[in-house]
């Protein structure tokens, strides 16, 4: 608390002495101008170039390109924590988009539980903060303000280490190496019937979201609504303005939850996730 108050005071002091510029395009004025915010206001389905099996139905608020890229980096790597507000609002739009793709009777929203992808220990150490959680908290606030019964639940934990594989069967080795995340209990638990949405800042290869969704889905009954995912931005493969919009349709069978067509080409060669 004291730390966040200090951070807030620091930002206020910085405002007094430094001219504010847009973290995306650099024009003076707002921390994130209306033009750049517009780039994160049209959620679309996101799928990597090579869709990993089990990749969850995912929506991105925009493309990780142009001014969006420096804005995310300013927030994530250079400590401009005040960008959690516009980027969190973008994440909320992506969550609303992926949740609205789940078929069901119209009426009050189902409860939605946002599950942040946990940062690695190295990431936490180097940044001194958990930027995905900051986005999650803002997104939950935005969704609740819009009347969506949303909550955060930190249901995922990174496994501390991978066991030595000596003496393990082939199946055990695969399980040992693939389980980056494990599901943990939270108090309170997610609301009954809540849609689980894994949230992260950027998706590129889809490996992280796939692993996270698999850890959350373990033990769920067959036919349950799949674990969903939402991100601020997805790395584009094609020029986003030329990519037609694809439809996202969520069905219980995970292998069918793949967006097809040029509109899903939202992953690139960066190799990061
Ligand atoms: Zn701008």
- Residue range 48-66: mean pLDDT, rounded: 92
**What is the C-alpha separation between 57 and 222, in angstroms, rounded?**
17
Res. 260 pLDDT band, cuts 50 70 90: very low
Count the Cβ atoms, other than its own, within 10 Å of residue 245: 10
- Could you tell me the distance, in angstroms and rounded to a whole number, from the CA of residue 132 to the centre of ligand 1? 22
Report whether pLDDT(236) > 70: yes
Which CA distances in Å does 76 have to 29, 172, 256?
Answer: 21, 36, 33
Cβ–Cβ under 8 Å, residues 186 and 156: no
Report whether pLDDT(56) > 60: yes
**Which element (helix H / strand E) includes 71?**
helix 68-77
Q: Which of 99, 81, 103, 88 is nearest to 7 (CA)?
A: 81
- Could you tell me the distance, in angstroms and rounded to a whole number, from the CA of residue 195 to the centre of ligand 1? 33
Structure-token match 């994440």, residue found: 91
- Could you tell me the distance, in angstroms and rounded to a whole number, from the CA of residue 27 to the centre of ligand 1? 6
- Could you tell me the distance, in angstroms and rounded to a whole number, from the CA of residue 139 to the centre of ligand 1? 21
- Could you tell me the distance, in angstroms and rounded to a whole number, from the CA of residue 71 to the centre of ligand 1? 9
| pLDDT at residue 151 in the model | 96
Q: Which of 134, 135, 45 is nearest to 94 (CA)?
A: 45
pTM higher than 0.75 = yes
């Amino acid at each position: 608390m004291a730390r966040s108050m200090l951070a807030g005071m620091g930002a206020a002091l910085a405002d007094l002495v430094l001219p504010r510029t847009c973290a995306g395009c650099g024009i003076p004025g707002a921390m994130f101008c209306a033009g750049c915010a517009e780039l994160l206001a049209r959620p679309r389905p996101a799928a990597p170039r090579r869709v990993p099996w089990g990749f969850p139905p995912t929506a991105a608020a925009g493309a990780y390109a142009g001014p969006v890229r420096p804005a995310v980096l300013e927030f994530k790597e250079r400590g401009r924590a005040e960008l959690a507000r516009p980027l969190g609002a973008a994440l909320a739009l992506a969550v609303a988009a992926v949740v609205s793709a789940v078929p069901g009777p119209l009426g009050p929203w189902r409860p939605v539980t946002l599950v942040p992808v946990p940062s690695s220990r190295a990431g936490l150490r180097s940044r001194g903060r958990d930027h995905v959680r900051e986005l999650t908290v803002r997104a939950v606030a935005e969704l609740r303000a819009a009347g969506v019964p949303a909550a955060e639940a930190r249901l995922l934990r990174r496994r501390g280490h991978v066991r030595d594989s000596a003496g393990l069967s082939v199946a055990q080795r695969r399980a040992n190496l693939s389980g980056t995340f494990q599901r943990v209990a939270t108090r309170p638990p997610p609301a009954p019937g809540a849609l689980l949405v894994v949230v992260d800042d950027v998706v590129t290869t889809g490996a992280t979201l796939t692993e996270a969704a698999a850890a959350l889905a373990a033990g769920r009954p067959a036919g349950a609504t799949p674990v969903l995912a939402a991100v601020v931005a997805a790395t584009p493969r094609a020029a986003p303005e030329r990519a037609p919009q694809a439809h996202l349709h969520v069905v219980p069978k995970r292998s069918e939850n793949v967006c097809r067509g040029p509109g899903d080409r939202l992953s690139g060669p960066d190799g990061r996730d």
